[in-house]
Amino acid sequence: MSTDFVRRADEVTEGVGLLRQAAPEAMKGFAALGVAATTSRALDAKTKELMALAIGIAVHCDGCVAYHTRAALKHGATREEVAETVALALYMGGGPAAVYGADALRAYDQMSRDARA
């Protein structure tokens, strides 16, 4: 399996930068929404990133899977938590969620290996 999920996540980050230049006001609103939605309050940030990952799997968005797996990892998500997030997405998404959910686990393994190196 050769997909480079670190690079895929980087492309998403670069893409957001590209949009910020091209549509600065819309992206300012989107960024404010993102900060408000993912900051720890009643639910902690790690849980919220796992939720974003679950949605990314359910809507078949490969860039979202790479990006939010990395964000969940940064907030301390364990492999078990990612696996249970995938299982929940599978229950809510069936076969396609197995395809995108397996990528979440692959991304986690690749990214946590990089983090340890």
Residues of this chain that interact with its own copies (CB under 8 A) are 1, 11-12, 14-16, 18-19, 22-23, 25-38, 41-43, 47-48, 50-52, 54-56, 58-61, 63-64, 67, 78-81, 83-103, 105-106
SS3 state at 43: coil
Positive/negative CA dihedral, 103, 46, 55, 87: positive
Least distance in angstroms from the C-beta of 45 to its own copies: 10
**Rounded Cα–Cα distance for residues 58 and 51 (Å):** 10
Q: Give the residue from 99, 76, 73 showing the smallest Cα distance to 86.
A: 99
Least distance from its own copies to the Cβ atom of residue 95, Å: 5
Spatial CA neighbour of 60 closest among 104, 16, 27: 104
| In the complex, least distance from residue 57 CB atom to its own copies, rounded to whole angstroms | 9
Closest CB to its own copies among 99 and 115? 99
Closer to its own copies by CB, 86 or 111: give it: 86
How remote is the C-alpha of 18 from its chain's centroid?
A: 19
For its own copies, give the closer residue by CB, 74 or 94. Answer: 94
